[in-house]
């Protein structure tokens, strides 16, 4: 974004926008500044069963990897910004917050000033267990926010292979250590055992998210990708005894016929993300999507999906701030937000809800190499307020992608107030 624009602090934004809950402002500010965990707080996390530790052998060396399950504020809002504690390099604004223990309470702290109380989330009971053939279950499914079980269908992306990745995407960073290609029969059995074990934990899960990189190949667009999703969905069906289950797909845009295959295999919600609404900026930020098979194709896929999955069960997403990346992005916050809300309004008229995420300029992405500056707090306040207002006006739901089933969308956090008014 343009450097000369005035950027307001958390306190200034809170005074200017009293209608936006302070919890949500803190969440956004923590996401763009980052959060570190003190030794004392980390010890508290251990006592709260919120740290999962495993012995790792890598490059001939043995070390302990510590995975923090995450934290929530008093209202249940997910604490964003902890990604740095997992070794992920992200370009941030200013100084990070810390989580520390003060007066025996776990607090998010700005400098030396306590900002808000928070609570560590226990890691799932299936972590540390292995499948019958010895695969660690946490290699197959991960808890994201407290309620969501995340399963990677595969860890590969043709956009990256074609040197046309979405410019904010960090997938390449993790690819080496993870899975490439589709799941084998043995791996699908591992997933079946893992999900079946996870379901033994009472009151833990209300959502499953499947995701993968893009694979546009096949007899029709993205057929190869759909084939892999169907395999995993059929596996999940076994764990649920064939009953319908809330599984959402964060995936590429598919033709309607492929969407029908996924719905029949058990998918209930579908998210073909547009990422950026403005056509020219979109082509620059998402060159892979532009090549396979263009903006109009991605839009029409989302609209068609409403007929397959139902009104309010289809969500597109904006990577908030990507449309302000320079030199081709918008120069001002207001221009950027106006463009994004124009897109959200268009989708809402067709029964598609739009969420936004906070763009992390993370190591491995093109934007990281370009040293793009993250968008400021006030930009996100304007964007999420607009998205919530559009969703409310159209009485659209977003419950499958909200504060506890995805938790990285501050706009869907706001929609907690509007659930009683949703129409399906």
Partner 1 sequence: MVSMKKMALPKDAVEMLLDPKAFKVLATTDDQGNVHVVAKDSLTLLDDGSLAYGEVLESSVSNANMVRGIWFDRRVAVLVCRHGRSFQIKGKPHRYVTTGPLFQQFYLAFRQRFGPDSDLAGVWIIAVDEVREQTLSVRKEEEERKHPNMRHFDRECFKVEQAM
Give the position of tokens 């060396």.
61
Note if the bond before 293 is cis, omega within 30 degrees: yes
422 touches partner 1 (CB under 8 A): yes
Residue nearer to partner 1 on the CB measure, 72 or 265: 72
Options 54, 75, 283, 335; binder of partner 1; rule CB under 8 A: 75
Least distance from partner 1 to the Cβ atom of residue 241, Å: 14
Residues 334-363, interacting with partner 1 (CB under 8 A) = none
Residue 398 phi, psi dihedral angles, 5° rounding: -155, 30
Rounded Cα gap, residues 374 and 322, in angstroms: 8
Least distance from partner 1 to the Cβ atom of residue 72, Å: 8
Rounded Cα gap, residues 178 and 171, in angstroms: 10
- The encoded tokens of residue 61 equal 């060396």
326 touches partner 1 (CB under 8 A): no
Residue nearer to partner 1 on the CB measure, 55 or 423: 423
119 touches partner 1 (CB under 8 A): yes
Rounded Cα gap, residues 297 and 360, in angstroms: 27
Name which of 257, 255, 385, 269 is nearest 333 in CA terms: 385
Report whether 324 contacts 375 (CB < 8 A): yes
Least distance from partner 1 to the Cβ atom of residue 209, Å: 17
327 touches partner 1 (CB under 8 A): no
Least distance from partner 1 to the Cβ atom of residue 40, Å: 18
Residues 11-70, interacting with partner 1 (CB under 8 A) = 21-23, 48
Residue 68 phi, psi dihedral angles, 5° rounding: -85, 130
Report whether 189 contacts 138 (CB < 8 A): no
144 touches partner 1 (CB under 8 A): no
Burial class (CB in 10 A: 0-12, 13-18, 19+), 204: middle
Give the x-and-dash track for 191-230 against partner 1 (CB under 8 A). Answer: -----------xxx--------------------------
115 touches partner 1 (CB under 8 A): yes
Options 34, 122, 182, 266; binder of partner 1; rule CB under 8 A: 122
Report whether 386 contacts 341 (CB < 8 A): yes
Report whether 340 contacts 291 (CB < 8 A): no
Residue nearer to partner 1 on the CB measure, 382 or 404: 404
Binding site for partner 1 (CB under 8 A): 21-23, 48, 72, 74-76, 107, 114-117, 119, 121-122, 146-147, 202-204, 399, 404, 416-420, 422
């Amino acid at each position: 974004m343009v450097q000369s624009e005035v950027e307001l602090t958390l306190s200034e934004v809170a005074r200017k926008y009293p209608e936006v809950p302070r919890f949500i402002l803190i969440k956004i500010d923590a996401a763009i500044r980052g959060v570190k965990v003190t030794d004392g707080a980390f010890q508290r996390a251990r006592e709260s069963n919120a740290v999962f530790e495993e012995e790792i052998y890598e490059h001939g060396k043995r070390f302990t990897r510590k995975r923090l399950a995450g934290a929530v504020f008093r209202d249940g809002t997910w604490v964003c910004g902890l990604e740095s504690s997992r070794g992920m390099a992200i370009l941030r604004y200013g100084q990070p917050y810390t989580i520390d223990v003060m007066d025996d309470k776990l607090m998010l702290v700005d400098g030396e000033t306590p900002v808000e109380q928070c609570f560590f989330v226990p890691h799932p009971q299936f972590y540390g267990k292995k499948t019958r053939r010895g695969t660690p279950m946490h290699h197959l499914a991960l808890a994201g926010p407290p309620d969501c079980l995340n399963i990677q269908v595969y860890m590969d992306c043709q956009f990256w292979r074609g040197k046309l990745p979405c410019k904010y995407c960090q997938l390449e960073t993790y690819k080496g250590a993870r899975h490439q290609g589709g799941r084998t029969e043995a791996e699908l059995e591992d997933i079946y055992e893992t999900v079946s074990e996870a379901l033994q934990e009472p009151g833990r899960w209300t959502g499953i998210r499947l995701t993968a990189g893009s694979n546009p190949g096949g007899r029709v667009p993205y057929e190869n990708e759909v084939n892999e999703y169907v395999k995993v969905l059929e596996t999940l069906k076994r764990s649920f005894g064939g009953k319908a289950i809330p599984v959402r797909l964060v995936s590429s845009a598919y033709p309607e016929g492929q969407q029908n295959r996924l719905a029949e295999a058990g998918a209930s919600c579908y998210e073909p993300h547009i990422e950026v609404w403005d056509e020219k900026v979109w082509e620059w930020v998402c060159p892979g999507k532009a090549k396979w098979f263009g903006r109009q194709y991605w839009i029409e896929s989302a609209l068609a999906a409403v007929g397959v999955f139902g009104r309010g069960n289809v969500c597109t997403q904006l990577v908030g701030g990507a449309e302000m990346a320079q030199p081709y992005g918008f120069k001002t916050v207001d221009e950027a937000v106006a463009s994004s809300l124009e897109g959200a309004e268009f989708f809402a008229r067709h029964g598609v809800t739009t969420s936004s995420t906070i763009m992390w300029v993370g190591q491995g992405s093109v934007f990281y190499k370009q040293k793009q500056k993250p968008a400021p707090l006030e930009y996100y306040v304007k964007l999420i307020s607009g998205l919530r207002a559009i969703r409310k006006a159209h009485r659209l739901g977003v419950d499958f992608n909200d504060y506890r089933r995805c938790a990285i969308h501050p706009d869907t956090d706001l929609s907690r107030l509007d659930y009683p008014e949703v129409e399906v």
